[in-house]
Homo-oligomer: A and B are copies of this chain.
Amino acid sequence: MSKKNTDELVFLPLGGSDEVGMNLNLYGFGPEHKRQWIVVDVGVTFGDLSTPGVDVITPDPAFVEGENILGIVLTHAHEDHIGALAWLWPRMKAPVYATPFTAFLIREKLRDAGLLDEVEIIEVPLGGNIQLGPFDITLVTLAHSIPEPNGLAIRTPAGLVLHTGDWKLDPDPITGAVTDPATLGALGDEGVLAMVCDSTNVFVEGRAGSEGEVREALGKLIASLSGRIAVGCFASNVARMDSVCRAAEAAGRRVALAGRSMHRIAAAAKSVGLLSGLQPFLSDQQAREWPADEILYLCTGSQGEPRAALSRVADGTHPYVRLGKGDHCIFSSRVIPGNELSIGALQDRLSDRGVRLYTEKDHPGIHVSGHPCREELREMYRWVRPRIAVPTHGVRRFLVEHANLARDLGIPETVTPRNGDMVRLWPGAAQVIDEVPAGRLYVDGGRLVSEEGEAIRERRHASTNGVLVVSFALDKRGRIVSDIDVRGIGLPGDADSPLGDALDELAERAEQAVRALTGEALEDELVIEQAVARALKKASQRIWDRRPIVETIVLRL
C-alpha cells in the first residue's frame, strides 16, 4: 500500500494559531487524496490603523475550498470564532453545527448577509453529539466569558482529540453548569491522543477567577455609589450583564441598555432562558428622564471604540445617557492589547466631565478573564493526560511557553503549528508534514480581497508618501499639445517652499522627461508614463525626501 493510501489524522489551523483571533481550525481524516474534513470555528479579527479602511479580517480558506467538508462546528459565539461565517460559508458550503445561543446569533448574521435560506444550521444541545463521517464529536461544557462555551471531544478511528475551544474553570459561572472534573478525567482514562488548547493566559500564574466573585465585587461597589452609574462591559458576557442587573436592582436602580450589541445579546440570552427574573430594561425615553440615583446604564464601548455608547457619552453626544460630576463609570472589562490608547483617551474624556472611573487595575475583582491561567492549565493536563499537546489561540511566545508548561507536566509530545502548518497527529510521532497556504482576507470596500492586494498596498503607501498626479495631451507624433498639469495629494508645502513652486518644478521635469524620448518610445503611452513617473519620483525625493505614488495620464489626440 503506497503512503498516499494510508489513513492519517491531521490538525490544520488556518487561523488562530500564532495569533489572537480569527480562528479557523481543520481536522482531517483519511488518506491524503480522499481526506474528509471538519471545520471548527470560522472567526474574524479586526483591522486597526495598520490596515486603513479595513475593519474586518478573515482567514483565507483557500486550502479547504473544494475539499470534502463534512461540517462546520462552532464552539461558541465570540466574533473571533463565528464572525467570518457569513463571509466564508459560500466558499465552504457545509452544514453548520452550534448550540442554541450560538445558533441564535449566527442566524442573525446569515440573515443580514441574505444567506439564511441557503445554510443548513443544526442546533445541538449542550453535551450533545455530532456524527460526521469518521468524526464522532461530543460537546463538553466548559466555562468562558460567554454562554455555552463548548470543548469538543472528537473521537476518530485514530483516537480521541480534545479541542478545548476558549475555556476556564469557574466554580460559579452564573450562566452555565460547573465544569465536571469527572467528565474530563473520564476522557483521560479513555486515552486522549491530543489536546488542542487555549494559550491566552499561559503567562499568568494562578487562576482566572470566578464570575461569582465579580458579582459580589460589583454588588458592593454599585451599592456604595450615589449619582448615575454606567458600567462598560463586553455585551457577550451575559453572566456579567446578569450580575450588573442584579447589583443594580439590589441598590434600587433600574437598568437601561446603551449600544446595539447590548440589545442584540440580550435578545439572544433571553431566547435561551438567560437574564430571566429581572425587571424589564428601561426604554430610551424612560432612561432619559429617570432619576440619577435610580438608574444604571449597561454600555458598549469599554475598548474606546469611537462609535460605541461610552465614547458618545464621553463626547456628550449620546441620545439618552448623560454623565457628569458626581457620576460613575465602571469598566468591568479588560484592556485588549492594542486598545490602550483609545481606552485611555476615552477615560480622559470621561474624567474631564467629572465622572469617577473604576477599572480592574484600581478595583481588582470587578473583572475576571475568560481564559485559563497556569493553575487551570495544569489541572486540565492532569485530568486529560493527552499524548500530544497542541497549544493554540495565542501569539508565538504564548504557544512556546504553553508547550514548555505541557512538557514540564510530563506530556510526551508537543507541537506548536503556525497557521497553515498541517500537523499529523496519527500515525507516528506528531509532526508538521506540510505547509499549506494560509493568510488573511480583508473586507475592503464590500469585497473580500487578499491582504497582499494592490488596493491596500497603494493606500498604505499613499498614507505616508502622498500621490502626485500629472496629465498632459500628446499629438500622434508625440508632441505635447496641452499644459502639463501636476497635482499633489498629501504633499506639504510651507511658507518657505510653497507647494505651488514644487508642482511647477515637477511640471518642468515631466516635460524634460517627455522631450528626452524619441522614436518608438513616443508611440507608447506606457513608456511615456513610466519615464515621467521616474523623473517625478526622483525630484520628489529631493523636494520632500519621499517617493509618492505618481499617476501619469497621457491623453493621445
Task: Give the B-binding residues of A (Cβ under 8 A).
Answer: 48-50, 52-53, 203, 337-338, 340-341, 344-345, 347-352, 357, 361-362, 395-397, 400, 444-449, 453, 455-456, 458-460, 462-467, 469, 471-473, 481-483, 485, 487-494, 496-497, 543-546, 549, 551, 553, 555-557
Copies of this protein, total: 2
Q: A459-B464, A462-B489 are in contact. Are A341 and B338 (CB under 8 A)?
A: yes
Whether B444 pairs with A52 at a CB distance below 8 angstroms is no
Q: How far is the CA of A265 from the CA of B462 in the complex (A)?
A: 35
Residues of chain B contacted by A48 (CB below 8 angstroms): 49
Q: A203-B362, A464-B53, A469-B469 are in contact. Are A490 and B456 (CB under 8 A)?
A: yes
Q: Which of B340, B446, B489, B549 contacts A340 (CB 8 A)?
A: B340
Whether B455 pairs with A553 at a CB distance below 8 angstroms is no
CB distance from A170 to the nearest CB of B (A): 25
Whether A396 pairs with B348 at a CB distance below 8 angstroms is yes
Q: Is the interface of A mostly helix, strand, loop or mixed?
A: mixed
Residue in B closest to A205 when the chains form the complex, CB atoms: B362
- 16 pairs across A/B with beta carbons < 8 Å? A53-B546, A203-B361, A349-B396, A352-B397, A445-B492, A449-B492, A459-B462, A459-B463, A462-B466, A462-B490, A472-B555, A473-B482, A482-B555, A485-B555, A487-B551, A555-B555
Residues of chain B contacted by A543 (CB below 8 angstroms): 445
Q: How far is the CA of A123 from the CA of B543 in the complex (A)?
A: 37
Q: Which of B49, B357, B455 contacts A466 (CB 8 A)?
A: B455
Whether B553 pairs with A553 at a CB distance below 8 angstroms is yes
Q: A396-B348, A467-B467 are in contact. Are A487 and B444 (CB under 8 A)?
A: no
Q: How far is the CA of A349 from the CA of B543 in the complex (A)?
A: 37
Whether A459 pairs with B455 at a CB distance below 8 angstroms is no
Whether B471 pairs with A553 at a CB distance below 8 angstroms is yes
Whether A494 pairs with B449 at a CB distance below 8 angstroms is yes
CB distance from A302 to the nearest CB of B (A): 16
Whether B352 pairs with A341 at a CB distance below 8 angstroms is no
Q: How far is the CA of A348 from the CA of B345 in the complex (A)?
A: 28
Residues of chain B contacted by A549 (CB below 8 angstroms): 489
Given contacts A53-B466, A347-B397, 11 further A-B pairs with CB under 8 A are: A49-B49, A52-B52, A337-B340, A345-B395, A350-B397, A352-B396, A447-B497, A460-B463, A469-B551, A482-B557, A555-B555
Residues of chain B contacted by A455 (CB below 8 angstroms): 466, 488, 490-493
Residues of chain B contacted by A396 (CB below 8 angstroms): 348-349, 351-352
Listed residue (A444, A459, A488, A497) with the most chain B CB atoms within 10 angstroms of its CB: A459
Q: How far is the CA of A349 from the CA of B397 in the complex (A)?
A: 8
Residues of chain B contacted by A347 (CB below 8 angstroms): 397
CB distance from A171 to the nearest CB of B (A): 27
Q: A341-B338, A546-B53, A555-B472 are in contact. Are A453 and B492 (CB under 8 A)?
A: yes
For the complex of A and B, list the 6 residue pairs with the smallest distance between their C-beta atoms, beginning with the closest. A463-B463, A49-B49, A445-B544, A459-B490, A351-B397, A52-B463
Q: How far is the CA of A445 from the CA of B497 in the complex (A)?
A: 11
Residue in B closest to A462 when the chains form the complex, CB atoms: B462
Whether B544 pairs with A490 at a CB distance below 8 angstroms is no
Residue in B closest to A549 when the chains form the complex, CB atoms: B489
CB distance from A460 to the nearest CB of B (A): 7
